[in-house]
Structure 1
Amino acid sequence: MSGAASLIGAVVLVVSLGVAAQLVADWLQIPSVAFLLVAGVFVGPQALGLVDPAIFGQAGLQAIVGLSVGIIVFEGAFHLTVERVREASREALGLVTIGAFVSVVGTAVAVNVVFGTTWPVAVLVGSLLIATGPTVITPIMQVVPVRDRVAAALETEGIINDVTAAILAVATFEFVIASQSSPVVVVEAFVARLAVGVLVGVAVGGGIALLLQRLKLSADNATQNARVMVLTAALLAYALGSMWLLEAGIAAAAVAGIVLGNADIPHEDEIADFKGGITLFVLSFVFIVLAAQLSLGDLRALGIGGLVIVIVVVALVRPLGVFLSTLGGRLTVRERMFVGAMGPRGIVPASVATLFAIELRPENPEAATVLVGTVFLVIFATVMFQGGLARHFAQALDILPMQTLIVGAGRVGRELATRYESRGEEVALIDSDEDTVERVRADGHRVVHGDATNANVLEEAGANRASVVVAATADDDVNLLVAQLATTRFDVDTVVARANQPDNLEAFEDLDVETISAGFAVADAIDDAVERPALAHWLSDSGRTGDVLEVELGNESLVDRTIEETAKKLPDGCLVAMVSRNGTDRVPDSDFRLASGDHLTLVCETNEAMQDARRLCQGD
């Protein structure tokens, strides 16, 4: 077979395996990196021998990997908006400074002690393993609906630490190769590359943003041309940065992505979708090729020491770094534990370690083995276990909030959002009015701007993982269509719709959704204020001083217990007011025994007591 035919065959095989790995990962809801790595090793020279990275040549492989990493980093940074960072700015800052420092030092000490390497080589490994990266964090966040502040902290850390790891590793590698006597060279090289990256990234990103804003693109090809221009920005930033200083291109691509992502450019949504597809393609290709380059002998050579390093990095260094870097922040203890358990490594350490090992092996094969073996072992372990078990970790720590989606950010929607958030629930609002969106967002709510009758907008806001959807606009047509989409398209458990006109009640009832008539609700409130003033007053303060909780009994330890026995286990300030069983509601006496599946209505004096009671009854 000719060289060209062999190359074509290898490329087609890699692309096909990449697509297959992505499909399997999407089906199992596990980061695709795990399957890409396995596929690469499986078809590489160490196994079936179907793909040999040597066919690309060393220079060609470096160019392909470099440009691909530039695109991947750019795409992640493109989504790093100022609003996103603000959701967890303090935690993110701690993770990329204190957390990164702890990671480098802790990993370097472990590598030095376990393998007896020189300190420069140990620091090189530690530098690369700073990077978590959006290629592995983002897929996890898509299937584990943690609070926005948790996701924002992890995603921001991944994007910034990708850049930090690449630049610091290059600076350290120069120290290793040149055998410099002073580590000052590392600091100088790091600062120089970071400065070049920022300069080039701002220039390229700002320049392309201005062109997109001011050029009058033809209406027929405007979106297509905008996509190509942004892709060119990613490649241009990486190329110019790398030509100026080795690996400064990664910083340049990241900065250009941040600049363009925060600029007011046309066709932004279409550009984001296009770049996401390109990134998926190059990620699949590069990971498989890099994994095919991996020598299983490097992994075996580490022996038990490799497992020790993985355990230290995952179970000691990462949790310690997260604990120290998030002190005094907004994250709860359980959320900090989850972040500490999430540190999967991605494309940057894999690519840089592979390329460095090729250059290092002729002069120092032992160091090359430790470098590439340790990095890939940590990648395998963290992606497989942390990525695969992320949702289970979140469920065990009870940090998956109830997702409530409210359509309409007017007075009713805002009041509902405030009440739900005070209970610790995750809330997103949708509104089509830009001024309203900005005003509500300034109040601290999560808001999506768009037309909620569009299924794509609902999905973007989280309808596919919502347990409750409330259609609360002043337009019955909108509420009706939203309710229909929520029940038929997204299969939401609880859908509540606001009916502004009594004549429209029948249309809502035909959908079999819970409907609240605005007129009837006011009449009921007035009736309660007259006939039941104490209850009406207490309910008007609900969500602030306490609330009524309805929960299904799932805690087996409470089954067959009397109300009197159950009351002793409930938090102070909570009582069982009603039990619903088989469609029948009753006010239980002290001897009434609970059964599995009962729906309990509890009255709680405080929100904290309500949350504790919910966890107790559900058995969490």
Structure 2
Amino acid sequence: MEHFAAVLALIGVIGIGSQWVAWRTGLPAIALMLVTGLLAGPIFGIINPEVDFGHLLEPLVSLAVAVILFEGGLSLNLRELRHVEGAVHRLVLIGVPVGWVLGALACYYIAGLVWPVAILFAGILVVTGPTVVIPLLRQTSVSSRTRAILKWEAIVNDPIGALCAVVTYEVLRQAGGGATIVQAGVSLLAAAVVAGLMGFGVARLLGWALPRGYIPEFLKAPVLLVAVIATFVGSNAIEQETGLLAVTVMGIAMANMGLASLRDVLRFKENMTVILVSGVFVLLSASLDLAVLRQFEFRFGLFILALLFLVRPATVFLSLLGSRIPWRERLFVGWIAPRGIVLVAITGLFALRLGELGFGDGGTLVALSFAVVAATILAHGFTIAPMARVLGLTSPGGSAVLVIGATEWGTALAGALQRLGVGVVISDTSPQRLAEARSRDIACFNGEILAEATEERLDLQQFGILAAVTDNEAYNTLVCSEFAPELGRDNVYQLGDETDDAGNSLPATLRGRAIFQSGFGVQELAHRIREDWVFASLKVDNPADYARRTSGMPQSGGPLLLIAKSGRARFFTHASRPTPGQGDTVLAYAPRPALQAAGWQLLHDQPARNPETSG
């Protein structure tokens, strides 16, 4: 028992540790988890999943994949389909059959598998694992339409690939009894329809119960989790491998019901998915058997190359032929197709069943599936970001700043950031207040940032920082509280810790980080504008020079924002003072004379003010 607990803890440390290292370094998290799992598993022998978990390994992995697929389904809003020009429909309805046929040809003529095994394995290969695609997209700044296409394809095709393998296996199994492919296909289609209806029915039941108070708040997340597991197991009891379809339909259905209650549990589901993805991939790589990998042959390498450079691109190009998707997006989607745990899990399951039917390629399939997973994760994990940049499909993802409030100071801040080359969008509900920003060619969003429809009109994936600077501090707090779970508590900022006449202030647990180190708010900021405080920038050459140029700044002013060479920005706050490095740029806000005396480059367009006459 102590050993089992130690293994679980080690898997958690390795998986989450790899995610943290990936966040700090920008390396693909999936690739790091694959490598660390290999080191802990077959290389050093610290973890041996088949021994440590025994017969529980397969059901644990299956349940984890079910929860991951359900959470992925919750992120699929049908309104996204209006913006992908029919690409998802084509990749499912055309891409799956085309990929199945081309994959079967490659399996037979290049990998040397017999036809029945080649057809079964090619059916599994139509998947592009969401357990891999979603983490890659989370770390990469890909344009919104391309991101939606890859995400939808991965989640929808995952259960379809399993069903393709089931169809092939059922035909092989029933061949002795005279059953035809049509009979097996009709039988499986009926089971798939039942599974889909089961998932949709459970979603409707929960959608009816949640908003009516039949489930208390503290039980919403547990009930949802248990419902997912029960739906998965129940559907598999009807027909093996249809559970993935049931939970996917369940997730998509609930995502499009407009349930306010889902917002309360969605963060819990996302956190659980990160843990499960980490654990599953460590188990996946630790389960690799070096003896099986030694069966890897030269022709298998050629097969993987054919899969990467022929089968996948041809599938995407044929599927999107005649569509309005630009060629650069087709090239990108045609390259990015990493496989994950579902491929290995289903292949391992059917490898055993094929042995029972007298086909001797089962062991070969296991080695081949591991090789495909490792090759695609490494190839696509390390090339997705460079290829997106080369094809011009990157968004400002994570480096842009969203300024809420087209006040005089907010517009000046957005203009200063724009002049420094930082992606910035300023949002306000009033087109009149946005007029000044538009006159400076600053990107504007006219609308209520808290409205549900905002996600359709504004790609929130591009923003790494939010600054709420309206003249209503309570509204600033509400905005920060709303976006903190998505952007991170350390990346939402607002005008500072201002108190009312009675000494009361809004709770720190709801507020964003205070923009100014001294924590002053709306009224004090208006006073400083009248005193001719302005924005200025300084490119840091060495720490000593930077210290000299900031030494004469007033205590309540000075450095405001650090813009790293990578383009990412961080505010100076009362709790955090980022240290500039050589080549970084610092944006300051201070009195004009102090900035000019210290040699800062002024960025503010407003003329000098006379404090005695300005109102």
Aligned twin of 2:391: 397
Task: Report SS of the residue matched to 1:301.
Answer: coil
Task: Note the 1:37-436 alignment, pairs <5 A.
Answer: 37-44=34-41, 47-48=44-45, 50-58=47-55, 60-88=56-84, 90-179=86-175, 182-215=180-213, 222=217, 224-361=218-355, 366-402=360-396, 404-411=424-431, 431-432=448-449, 434=451
Whether contact under 8 Å (2:428, 2:445) holds in the other structure is: no
Q: CA deviation at 1:349?
A: 0.8
- Spell out, residue by residue over 1:394-444, the C-alpha distance to the aligned partner (whole angstroms, 9 max, x if none): 111122245643322543699999999xx9x9987762464xx64x778x5
Please tell me the residue identity of whatever aligns with 2:136: I
1:23 to 2:20 alignment: yes
- CA 1:359/1:396 → structure 2, altered by over 3 Å: closer, same or farther? same
Q: CA deviation at 1:122?
A: 0.9
Whether contact under 8 Å (1:227, 1:274) holds in the other structure is: yes
Aligned twin of 1:512: 535
CA distance in 2, matches of 1:280, 1:252: 21
Q: Percent identity?
A: 27
- CA 1:503/1:282 → structure 2, altered by over 3 Å: closer, same or farther? closer
CA distance in 1, matches of 2:98, 2:443: 31
Whether contact under 8 Å (1:87, 1:148) holds in the other structure is: no
- Spell out, residue by residue over 1:476-504, the C-alpha distance to the aligned partner (whole angstroms, 9 max, x if none): xxxxxxxx979889xxxxxxxxx9xx967
CA distance in 1, matches of 2:17, 2:205: 38
1:8 to 2:5 alignment: yes
Q: CA deviation at 1:50?
A: 3.2
CA distance in 2, matches of 1:264, 1:287: 33
CA distance in 2, matches of 1:234, 1:508: 60
Please tell me the residue identity of whatever aligns with 1:84: E
Greater fraction of residues in helix: 1
- Spell out, residue by residue over 1:203-233, the C-alpha distance to the aligned partner (whole angstroms, 9 max, x if none): 1111112110112555xxx1x3221122122
Task: Report SS of the residue matched to 2:251.
Answer: helix
- Spell out, residue by residue over 1:508-554, the C-alpha distance to the aligned partner (whole angstroms, 9 max, x if none): 9747289xxxxxxxxxxxxxxxxxxxxxxxxxxxxxxxxxxxxxxxx
CA distance in 1, matches of 2:432, 2:112: 64
Please tell me the residue identity of whatever aligns with 1:352: I
Whether contact under 8 Å (1:150, 1:331) holds in the other structure is: no
- CA 1:456/1:162 → structure 2, altered by over 3 Å: closer, same or farther? farther
Q: CA deviation at 1:179?
A: 4.7
CA distance in 2, matches of 1:364, 1:119: 14
CA distance in 1, matches of 2:361, 2:99: 20
Please tell me the residue identity of whatever aligns with 1:506: I
Please tell me the residue identity of whatever aligns with 2:78: V
Whether contact under 8 Å (1:196, 1:248) holds in the other structure is: no
Whether contact under 8 Å (2:123, 2:161) holds in the other structure is: yes
Please tell me the residue identity of whatever aligns with 1:202: F
CA distance in 1, matches of 2:188, 2:439: 48
Please tell me the residue identity of whatever aligns with 1:197: A
Q: CA deviation at 1:68?
A: 1.1
Please tell me the residue identity of whatever aligns with 2:335: A
Gap runs ≥5 in structure 1: 472-483, 490-498, 515-620
- CA 1:508/1:197 → structure 2, altered by over 3 Å: closer, same or farther? farther
Task: Report SS of the residue matched to 2:94.
Answer: helix
Q: How many residues align?
A: 476
Whether contact under 8 Å (1:405, 1:463) holds in the other structure is: no
Whether contact under 8 Å (1:53, 1:293) holds in the other structure is: yes
Whether contact under 8 Å (1:132, 1:346) holds in the other structure is: yes
CA distance in 1, matches of 2:439, 2:131: 35
- Spell out, residue by residue over 1:59-106, the C-alpha distance to the aligned partner (whole angstroms, 9 max, x if none): x22321221111111010011112233321501111122222222111
Q: CA deviation at 1:144?
A: 2.3
CA distance in 1, matches of 2:89, 2:533: 51
Whether contact under 8 Å (1:428, 1:446) holds in the other structure is: no
Q: What's the RMSD between the two structures over aligned residues?
A: 3.9
Task: Report SS of the residue matched to 2:321.
Answer: coil
Task: Report SS of the residue matched to 1:405.
Answer: strand
CA distance in 1, matches of 2:333, 2:145: 11
Task: Report SS of the residue matched to 2:86.
Answer: helix
CA distance in 2, matches of 1:351, 1:369: 13
CA distance in 2, matches of 1:207, 1:418: 48
CA distance in 1, matches of 2:148, 2:486: 15
Comparing 406-415 with 323-332, greater Cα deviation is found at: 406-415
- CA 1:282/1:140 → structure 2, altered by over 3 Å: closer, same or farther? closer
Query: Normalization by structure 1: what TM-score?
Result: 0.67
Whether contact under 8 Å (1:131, 1:349) holds in the other structure is: yes
Please tell me the residue identity of whatever aligns with 1:318: R
Task: Report SS of the residue matched to 1:512.
Answer: strand
Comparing 363-372 with 12-21, greater Cα deviation is found at: 363-372
CA distance in 2, matches of 1:69, 1:163: 11
Whether contact under 8 Å (1:121, 1:176) holds in the other structure is: no
Q: CA deviation at 1:272?
A: 1.4
